[in-house]
Amino acid sequence: MLIGILETGRPPEELQSAYGSYADMFKRLLGATDSSLEFKVYPVLDNQLPANPYECAAWLVTGSRHGVYENLPWMLQLQDFIRAVWQAEVPMIGICFGHQIIATALGGRVEKSNKGWGVGLQEYTVQKPQDWMGEQATITFNAMHQDQVVELPANAEVFASSAFCEYAGLVYGGRILTFQGHPEFTTDFEEHLLKLRRGSVIPNPVADQALSGLEQGALKPESQSGHWMANFLKRVS
């Protein structure tokens, strides 16, 4: 299966040598699950989009430092492509910014939340178990976001949520899966990202609380997330 990774952002330069790009993180996560998976990266943020939804068997939209409401030209083109993928019934996964721009493209609304930053380990309640993940009451991902989906598209169904993030996990007609959290972020990467953004982007108390949670290790990022994503894509492809 060829998965097209729609690259909408890149990690800070200070971390790229150690961790690679967001696309690299997804390659590691999904490749560890199934070595037969192949990947093609499209630098969407550099205005390089696929010609049509059928170029790959499935699509994945990465995270980004941008907000979808910035309406940059490449974002508007990406929204057109997302709608084309939906109409073509090709499977797609969206993560963080990907989660948000898919919701926007299909009729939802995203805004900068008055709840502030959601960072560090975040636990979400599974409202409706999915066949590709099995029976599980909660899931835990590292998170790094201030924006949230605040209005759902008509065709979206919530399967995971929290008090902080009501629409944390969405499915669309069994063909599109999106997470607000970052299954591709390791705890090590999250720690370095928090330390880099502490005091400049993220308020010190918020960053410190998240760092403390990482150190205590009371919650662990879901190790099954790569399997879940691969299972989802294979079942709907």
DSSP class per residue in 9-45? ----HHHHHHH--HHHHHHHHHHTT-TT-EEEEE-GG
What pLDDT score does 234 carry? 85
CATH fourth-level superfamily of 2-112+147-185+223-236: Class I glutamine amidotransferase (GATase) domain (3.40.50.880)
Ranges of the chain with pLDDT below 50: none
| Confidence at residue 217, expressed as pLDDT on a 0 to 100 scale | 79
Q: What is the pLDDT of residue 133?
A: 87
Q: How far apart are CA 58 and CA 82, in angstroms?
A: 12
- The residues spanned by each domain of the chain are 2-112+147-185+223-236
Q: Is the Cβ–Cβ distance between 148 and 109 less than 8 Å?
A: no
Q: Please give the model's pTM, rounded to 2 decimal places.
A: 0.95
